[in-house]
Structures are given as structure tokens and as C-alpha cells.
Amino acid sequence: MSYQNYIKAMELAPKCKFYTTAVGKSQEEIGRSEELLGIQFSKQCRQFYEQYGYLSFFGNEIFGIDPDDFDELEGNSVAYALNDRKEYGLPIRWIPIYNFEDGLMAYLDYSSINDDGEPCVIMAGFNGSEYQIEETIAQDFGDFVLGLVMQQLEG
């Protein structure tokens, strides 16, 4: 059912104000990103990166991947994860996908995979010495994106 939520989210997203995506990523770019991160992307994430690259709408930005750009962290899950692993000890199985702009981030938690092979989405922050999970906010990527899209469309 969650894959259906991913499809629904991406069908509804263009109705959001200031909807923007990028050019999808090549198999080579996705593979290099997976190598750098030590993660094999789930079906939903792989499809998202292939078709959209990243997603932005009305104050929301779902990070994309760029295995060749490490200068800009915001919006690039690869650069953000590698930087935060080195600087703050970010768990290797967490991939940042969304910045709440209040010190908390949304992460794909690849240490917690559901029956469909999808990681849950957690909200966590660095407290100065370690990362703390605030809560699990979605069962997977599709549920997370659909929640943001619906919130914007209803608000």
C-alpha cells in the first residue's frame, strides 16, 4: 500500500505551489551515490531519484543526490550524510532527506526496513554529543512525501 502512497504523492505534488523537480539521475549517479553512502536505495527512493532528482514545493524540499558535489550540503543527501558522519557521528544507516529548519531532520532509517524493503522515516537531531530520535514520522518515503503534499494542499 505504501508504494501506492508514493505514486499518489508524486501525482499530487505538481498541484502544490512552487512545485519544482530536477532532472532525474542516471543509473551511474545512483550507483556512485549508493557506493559512497554504503546503502542500496529502496525501490521508492531509486524511482524518485531516477524520475525527479529532487522535489521542492512551498517551503518543502525533499533532498536529491549528487555524488559529485560536496560543496553544498542542503538539498544533497550524499554530501549531507557524509559530512554529518564525519563531523557528528551520524549513524551510517541514516540518510538525511528533509530539513525541518528547527535543528531536526528527517532521515531514511535503513536499519529499520519494512516488509516491502522500505526504510521508515525518522525525525532526529544532534544534541551536541549524539543523535536522538524524536519519533518515527512515516512508515516509508512515500508516506512521508504524501503527508507533506497533503498538508500543503489542505493548508
Q: In a 3-state reduction of DSSP, which class is residue 51?
A: helix
CA–CA gap between residue 154 and residue 146 (Å, rounded): 12
Name the packing angle between helices 43-51 and 27-37 (round to 10°). 130
What's the whole-number average pLDDT of the chain? 94
Q: Beta strand pairing status for 60-62 and 94-99?
A: unpaired
pLDDT tens figures, 4-59:
999 999 999 999 999 999 989 999 999 999 999 999 999 999 999 999 999 999 98
**61: alpha, beta or left, given left = phi > 0 and alpha = psi -120 to 50?**
beta
pLDDT of residue 137 exceeding 80, the answer is yes
pTM value?
Answer: 0.94
